[in-house]
Structure 1
């Protein structure tokens, strides 16, 4: 069963921390909401999906490149949710591709992103309301799905049903429809397929 946290009902001074716990394999993905005004916090521990539970922690010690790639819509979550994911995973010794920290001045941006995607053992995809408006996000997602590596979806302010676009309602359906007028149909179909594939992976909703 998915756990849900209603962000709209929380005071603005709540901080969100996401951390990844590992033993012999990744076994837990923890979502912890910590109110600044309280010393105690209430953790909501969510079980890992089957894909990550099959990973041995040695993967993260021996693979060259990155352990985890963060795919996200910058204006929505870069300075909040994904920044916290990045710092918590990095503090646990994982090598995380987070564009604002991993791409240096002089680097070729598309090549750096593609290299990060292909070298990562796992990918965390943060779906947010404006995610599908970004062609960058959709192209990254398309590549991520093609790597056939483990994917952890995080649904931030949207539900999986919106991403599946069974109807023309919803921000994702409207964004994809808009792209249909600017890009070739086969490319848009690939983006829709990638969105659908990841939306059916058990993830974390808040």
Structure 2
């Protein structure tokens, strides 16, 4: 066989191989395109934290307090400001101010940081009734009828208040004739607020 014929056979074989690769690539669904593919924005991180300057601005509007909101399926504190000072106000006034903060929808900055609240806008708090312990507070809904996360928010926010808690216990009752119970805000409550807060004996 002459060299020219050998070179011709090799060229033909190479072209056939290239054509076969192209067919296999098409069969595997590989397709080239010049159109850019938009996969969407990268998922945003939920920081569950407010910038320090926002906390300072909030504190400048009144007496600084902390309330518990829900973020990333946990309870996390945010800074708010109220118009009563715990050391100089009665317990019901303090409880009312704190509950008002829990009932408010989070600010735009708080929502952007991932915060929300499950406390109903209709929830109200009252003082103890006859026969209750002095530390008791009554809600206009039975505590155990509230969403678990909402009850956890109320319990942990009240438990952080020296004016409202006895040790680590907050005593809450509802509008009915049921006795008030002591509720604990534990590390487990904060980590998993969908679980109903632990109850203890009324102090």
What interval of TM-score do these two structures reach, taking the shorter chain for normalisation?
under 0.3
Which structure: larger Rg? 2
Structure showing the higher helix proportion among its residues: 1
Q: Which has the higher contact order (CA 8 A, sep 6+)?
A: 1
TM-score where L is the length of structure 2: 0.26
TM-score where L is the length of structure 1: 0.26
